[in-house]
Amino acid sequence: MKPELSVPFSNSFSSLPKDFYVKMYPERMPDLRLIKFNSPLSDLLGLPSKDLQQKDGVDFLGGKKILSNQEPLAQVYAGHQFGNFVPQLGDGRALLLGEVIGTDGVRRDIQLKGSGKTPFSRMGDGRSGLGPVLREYIVSEAMFNFGIPTTRALAALFTGETIIRETQVPGAILARVAKSHIRIGTFEYFSRKGQTNKVKELADYVILRHYPDIKNDSDKYHTLLEKVVRNQALLIAKWMGVGFIHGVMNTDNMTLSGETIDFGPCAFMDHFEIDKVYSSIDLQGRYRFSNQPHIAIWNLSRLAETLLPLIDENQKTAIKKAEKILELFLPLFTEFWINVMGKKIGIKKPKASDKALIESLLKNMQIGRSDFTLTFRNLTNLLKKDQEQNWCALFSDPKHPELTNWIKDWKNRLKLNDKNKITINKQMNHHNPYIIPRNHIIELCISQGLQGDLTQFHRLTKALEFPFKEQAHFYDLIKPPNDNEIVHQTFCGT
């Protein structure tokens, strides 16, 4: 008898009461085939990478083969979507296959997206088309390689089905990995039902899993909120440092682990526009680029509301304590943002006073419609003799007086670094990606993939493995779109 595939599951979420999930198997897909397998991530998770690329392993990755030590389940949660509360959402096209403890000692979920209907599908088919799977694989792995906390892609697979969206498209599944899939909306689900005991169980679980250093603190729920606030402030600062717009920052898309989750209508900016919106469903610009920190505060306030009974028995006291923590967000975000952006312009130890220099550059970028990624990456040209005009050429008015003044101010600031130009150049290249997953290239990967050609998808994911390294053979991938290639809107794809 052939031995069972060995995957070292160590499940903990399933030990919570049944109110938190529904145990069930994924739907069996007819013909699972690998599109791409993430061997480095598999190795980190301590999985049998070679076996997972064979038939039994592929069937496991697509949910067709369930192992004896698995406990697949669909998680329940609620959420505020575009400011409106929806009392029950949940994993409508996803299933948690189980948890593994990686070679680094970190516990992570392995979850399927596109695995079929669940009790939370809300009239949907629970499937995913190829496009959203390719998009999430590309963007989530890019975010990881940028050094931004994120869910990751373990594998993308064809299901062998054809599904109906606007047209017929190939069905696909993404095997996704995260430190957990617990969201602010998970807390909201039980809080809105008045089930404080369940909120407490969930909070205790999150503390034990993500913040074990505070598990014995007398004010651990107060500290939990503070830790989540800090992690989210850093996350949003890092997003904005690469021109990333999430597009659907609902409370069910904000994790307690501080990871980026949900890559539906997300996008990376081409030319800089402070209030840029890509998402086709964000009609009011709620989740525009500049508003992301403020939406994070709004979402964290919803989390704070669920924790009030745990923070203090006296509601007024609890509110005051929670408000003090929430007030930390903007100063923390500003500190992190100045650090992220300051290092992008070559400042070794950015200070609060550097905020004006950073904002002045962004103002020039907005007026000059310069490309976000190329403006920062090519800033090192200003360190080279007779190369200033090459950088200025990125702006619509290369000789604008304010741009000239900014260059002078920037060079004066760098003199305080006490470093040579070679060192500054290396630092800037370390903090400014050479390549990002540009919207028009992602769309090209998807459109070609729908025609059966995944060459560009594999090429882009390969290029993004080392996004800070100059790779001449990927030069075509770094260029901004031509006018006829510009992607004006992005879509959820569900």
pLDDT along the chain (494 residues), means of 10: 83 96 97 98 97 97 96 97 96 97 98 96 91 97 98 98 92 98 98 98 98 97 98 98 97 98 96 96 95 98 98 97 98 98 96 98 98 97 88 96 96 88 93 97 97 98 97 94 91 71
The phi and psi torsions of 457 (rounded to 5 degrees) equal -60, -50
Beta carbons of 112 and 181 less than 8 angstroms apart: no
Q: Looking at beta carbons, which pairs linking 295-299 to residues 24 or more positions away fall under 8 Å?
A: 295/249, 296/232, 296/233, 296/236, 296/249, 296/254, 296/329, 296/333, 297/326, 297/329, 297/330, 298/83, 299/80, 299/184, 299/232, 299/249, 299/250, 299/251, 299/254
Amino acid identity of residue 243, one-letter, is G
pLDDT at 493: 67
For 254-271, give one letter per residue: b (16+ CB within 10 A) or e.
bbbbbbbbbbbbbbbbbb
What lies within 8 Å, CB to CB, of 124 at 6+ separation is 92, 93, 117, 494
What is the predicted pLDDT for the residue at 148?
Answer: 98
Distance in angstroms (rounded) separating the CA atoms of residues 423 and 343: 12
Q: What are the b/e assignments for 159-192, b being 16+ CB within 10 Å?
A: bebebebeeebbbbbbbbbbbbbbbbbbbbbbbe
Which token pair is 35? 């599109």
Burial profile 310-331: b = 16 or more Cβ within 10 angstroms, e = fewer: bbbeeeeebeebbeebbeebee
What count of other Cβ atoms lies within 10 Å of the Cβ of residue 476? 9
- φ, ψ at 258 (rounded to 5°): 80, 25
Residue 451: Cβ-neighbour burial (10 angstroms; 0-12, 13-18, 19+): exposed
The reported pLDDT for the residue numbered 449 is 98
- In Å, what is the CA distance from 492 to each residue of 130, 132, 134? 13, 8, 13
Contact 378, 403 (CB under 8 A): no
- The C-alpha R_g of the chain, in whole angstroms, comes to 23
How much is the pLDDT for 384?
Answer: 86
State the catalytic residues. 252
Domain boundaries, the chain: 13-178, 184-336
DSSP 465: T
Angle at Cα 94 formed by Cα 447 and Cα 81, nearest 5°? 85
